[in-house]
Structures are given as C-alpha cells and as structure tokens.
Amino acid sequence: MEKIIKYPHPHGEITVLWKPELCIHAGVCVKMLPQVYKPKERPWCNPENASVEELINQIKKCPSGALGYELKRPDNQMEIQLRDYFDRIAIRV
C-alpha cells in the first residue's frame, strides 16, 4: 500500500497530501512556495503559510504527482485530488 503523509492546514479547509515514494525532489514546491516547503526542517511542509488557492495551484504543478490535497467544501463534502506519475487523477470524490 502506498504511503501518504498528511499535513493539515490549521483552519481545516485543506490538507496537503505527500506520497514520498513518488517524489523526485524536483524542487518545484520549494521554488513556488518557499514559506510552505522547507526540506531541511521538520515538519518540512507548513501549509498554514499559504492560502488554499496558492496551495492548490502549486500542488497541481508537482511534476511527479507526489503532492495532492483534500479539500473540505462548504457543503461538508470532501474533494480529494491525487495524481500518479503519469498525471492521471487517481481519486476525486
């Protein structure tokens, strides 16, 4: 089973998902949102340092698909977006 690490935003609206086995360490996340992604610190992902829109925009640009998100919508439905290495949407609820 694929390992997924969750980094929830303190407001509860979005959770960043990271699949370490897929990560190719291209650094796109760090370059786009250095205030969020700090690979030399623990925890290395701090979603509270960006808006939901900034996080979604950055996650969609992850070249390996290692980053995804869970988004709690106003109607209490949950949207989950994970991509695989070939840019296919793996889960969307």
Angstrom distance (rounded) from CA 7 to CA 2: 16
Q: Give this prediction's pTM.
A: 0.82
**Percent of the chain residues topping a pLDDT of 90:** 70
Residue 87 is predicted with a pLDDT of: 53
- Averaged pLDDT, 67-79: 80
With a cut of 70, say whether residue 85 has pLDDT above it: no
Per-residue confidence at 84, pLDDT binned at 50, 70, 90? low
Angstrom distance (rounded) from CA 45 to CA 58: 13
- Averaged pLDDT, 57-74: 90
Of the candidates 72, 21, 18, the residue with the CA atom closest to the CA atom of residue 45? 18
Q: pLDDT of 11-49, one tens digit each?
A: 889 999 999 999 999 999 999 999 999 999 999 999 999
Q: CA geometry: angle at 76 spanning 62 and 83, to 5°?
A: 20
Residue 89 is predicted with a pLDDT of: 53
CA distances from residue 92 to 76, 82, 88 in whole angstroms, order as listed: 15, 8, 11
Neighbours of 14 (CB within 10 A): 22
44: left (phi over 0), alpha (psi -120 to 50) or beta: alpha
